[in-house]
Amino acid sequence: MSYKKGTNVMLLLITLVSAIFLYQSFSLKTLTTNQPIGPDFFPKVISILLIITCIISFITTLKKTEDRKVELEKFKFVIYTVVAAIVFVMCWQFLGLFYVCSFIFLFALLYLYNNNGSKFKKILTSLGISLVVILFVYAVFGKLLNVLF
């Protein structure tokens, strides 16, 4: 990923977010009369300042002559992990089977990340570690802290 391009995309996204906030703050009603400034004042000021700074940063990034590459090491692992986390939380939220879901999630990541040894050995160690961790979660969060999952 190019540093300049990455920065510009990020700035664009932030500008978009601040524009949404700015638009929304206009619909905030200032019903109270005894307050010199209402709930819309601060959001308006901040989002306008944010848009201005994004433009300034955009210009300073453009002015910089040298560009560099941002290393996204093993980016496919980042994608796998985020997707796995999303699937895990969705299963947890909608199916409810917290312990089963988290066991599968943990096992999948451990298996995916490990590139040492044979397939059989990898499955065995991943299963072992997942089991110990989930038991730990059950004992500490489920029993000791009384968290209802």
Partner 1 sequence: MELFSMDFSTLFTIENLIAIVIGTLYGLLIGALPGLGATIGIALILPFTYAMSPLGAILLLVAVYQGAEYGGSISSIVLGVPGTPAATATVIDGSVMAKKGYPGKALGYSLTGSYIGGLVGALVLMTLTIPLSTVAIKFGDPEFFLLGILGLVCVAGLSSSDIPKSIISVLLGLLLGMVGLDGFTGSQRFTFGSLSLLDGVSMIALLVGMFAVSEVLFTLGDLNKRYVTESKNLKTKLTWKEIKMVAKEMIRGSIIGSFVGVLPGLGAGPASWFAYTEAKRASKNPETFGKGEPNGIAAPEAANNGAVGGALVPLLTLGIPGSPATAVILGAFLIQGIQPGPKVFETHPDLVYGIFWGFLVATIAMYYLGKYTTSLWARMLTMPNYALTPIILIIALIGVYASNMNIFDVWVAIVAGVVAYFMKKLDFSLPAFILAFILGPIIETSLRRSLSLSDGSFSIFFTRGYSIVILILILFLLGAMIFQKRNPKGKSKDTEIPNL
Which residues of this chain interact with partner 1, rule CB under 8 A?
1, 3, 6-7, 10-11, 14, 17-18, 21, 24-25, 28-32, 34-39, 41-43, 46-47, 49-50, 53-54, 56-57, 60, 70-74, 77-78, 81-82, 85-86, 89, 92-93, 102, 105-106, 109-110, 113-116, 125, 129, 133, 137, 140-141, 144-145, 147-149
Distance CA 55, CA 63 (A): 12
* Least distance (Å) between residue 129 CB and partner 1: 6
Instruction: Report the amino acid identity of residue 51.
Output: I
Q: What are phi and psi of 79, to 5 degrees?
A: -65, -45
* Least distance (Å) between residue 56 CB and partner 1: 5
**Angle formed at CA 16 by CA 12 and CA 22, multiple of 5 degrees:** 140
* Least distance (Å) between residue 117 CB and partner 1: 11
* Least distance (Å) between residue 17 CB and partner 1: 8
- Closer by beta carbon to partner 1, 97 or else 113: 113
Tokens of 54: 């994004």
Instruction: Report the amino acid identity of residue 33.
Output: T
Look up tokens 């939380």; give the residue: 89
Q: Are 7 and 59 in contact (CB under 8 A)?
A: no
Q: What are phi and psi of 107, to 5 degrees?
A: -60, -45
